Amino acid sequence: MALIHSFEKSGNILFRYRGQLPSVLFLIAIPSIYFTDYSMIPENLTFLLTIAAIFISFLGFFIRSYTIGTTPKGTSGRNRNEQVAESLNITGVYSIIRHPLYLGNYLIWIGIVVFTFNVYFFVIISLLFWLYYERIMFAEERFLEKKFGDEYINWSKKVPAFIPAFSKFRKSDIPFSFKTVIRREYSGVLATVIGFAFVDLLRIYFCSGKFEWDRTSVYAVAVAAVFALILRALKHGNMLNEEGRS
């Protein structure tokens, strides 16, 4: 099998199982936290790293939210088994980057990684993320090239894959929808808050030998869970649906 077909096949397989990546991240985080000597990290540095970690994850959600809130039905969906695209997005965030959702994903999860305060873990996850998503992006681009032909090729030549070119920005053809964002992103927010709490509780346990449940991270999970349940109920009651939105 030619490499181009091998890359495309493996990319499509990874695409179907990309939802399992956070679980792998959680497992790898355990030894990373265990072997980190937190007694050597100054308290003021841990505070700055915590703020930086939260900001990075927030930035990731901002990118995802803008992308999802300004794209029509049939694109940027949660399709899991196969590639889907009824039209080619070339305005809004897609005028400056070809894979904004994956950039958002990286920033969200790398924020949690930064919260472990382990630089080696940061490097390892960044490399694994790139190797994993490079194949997925390759498969997606092959699909789009086959479906849209020269229209896709001409657009892809002008727009970077992963590093935004802000000077190329063109306003989205459709208005931003906050309703679409909260309908599709509430579960991701909950998962991210759980990720931060997981790191926080595990770090305390490895340092003190016991779990401390009276933590801000635990309260944040409780609040996020309540909001997630409310939004889930609204979603299933079709109160958050909008015509023409995925």
27 within domain boundaries: yes
56 within domain boundaries: yes
pLDDT tens digits, one per residue of 79-129: 555 566 667 888 899 999 999 999 999 999 999 999 999 999 999 999 988
The C-alpha atoms of residue 98 and residue 103 are separated, in whole angstroms, by 10
pLDDT-above-90 percentage for the chain: 58
53 within domain boundaries: yes
149 within domain boundaries: yes
Contacts with 119 (C-beta within 8 Å, 6 or more apart), sequence order: none
220 within domain boundaries: no
The C-alpha atoms of residue 233 and residue 235 are separated, in whole angstroms, by 5
Please state the domain count of the chain.
1
207 within domain boundaries: no
* Residue pair 71/56 in contact by the 8 Å Cβ criterion: no
The C-alpha atoms of residue 14 and residue 82 are separated, in whole angstroms, by 11
Which residue segment(s) compose the domain that 86 sits in? Answer: 3-177
11-15, 80-84, 98-102, 170-174, range with greatest mean pLDDT: 98-102
227 within domain boundaries: no
Query: What CATH number is associated with residue 49?
Result: 1.20.120.1630
SS (H, E, C) 7-69: HHHHHHHHHHCHHHHHHHHHHHHHHHHHCCCHHHCCHHHHHHHHHHHHHHHHHHHHHHHHHHH
144 within domain boundaries: yes
